[in-house]
Amino acid sequence: MKNQLLTAIAFIFLFTACAGTSKKVEQAKLDTNIPVVITTQGTYLPNTVGGVDFKINLVNTSNKTIKYIDLWLAAKNRVGDFVSDAITNKKVKIVQIVGPIQPGNDTRQQFGFMSRWENVWYNHDIVCGGVVGVKITYMDGEEKKFDYPAILLDTGECNNASSSI
């Protein structure tokens, strides 16, 4: 069971490198262990007070409507170290996408724009960041959690808003 979960997590993040291609998204739709594919994500450069925004686009590859997606986010500095928010001193921040997100749709299709949060962190040293954990809640109340700290960022992938993974 643990290996299946880790495999599913790995696929979510491995597919993010190519999810813009419909072939990879279609493959994920066939695998019931991969309920979402991240097609774009990243941080923006810090603003004048050190506030760092985050954006993401996800595709619902499951056959169920998603109610909520909770995302655990982490950011890195220029030398690849995880950094804390200067105000809360937290390295991991949690944001939420509120659906519904229909099967086959991405957040951009569903809402007309990519999901974005302003000032997730306050730290002038942040250059990139991404998702390190996901919890999906479906309309029927079922939850799926993919919780493996730093699986994305420890692969060497660190994304700013101008990159796709």
The string of pLDDT tens digits covering residues 39-57 is 778 888 899 999 999 988 8
Q: For residues 62-85, give the mean pLDDT.
A: 91
Q: In a 10 Å sphere around its CB, with 0-12 CB exposed, 13-18 middle and 19+ buried, how is residue 58 labelled?
A: buried
Considering the domain 2-155 in this protein, what is its CATH number? 2.60.40
pTM of the model: 0.73
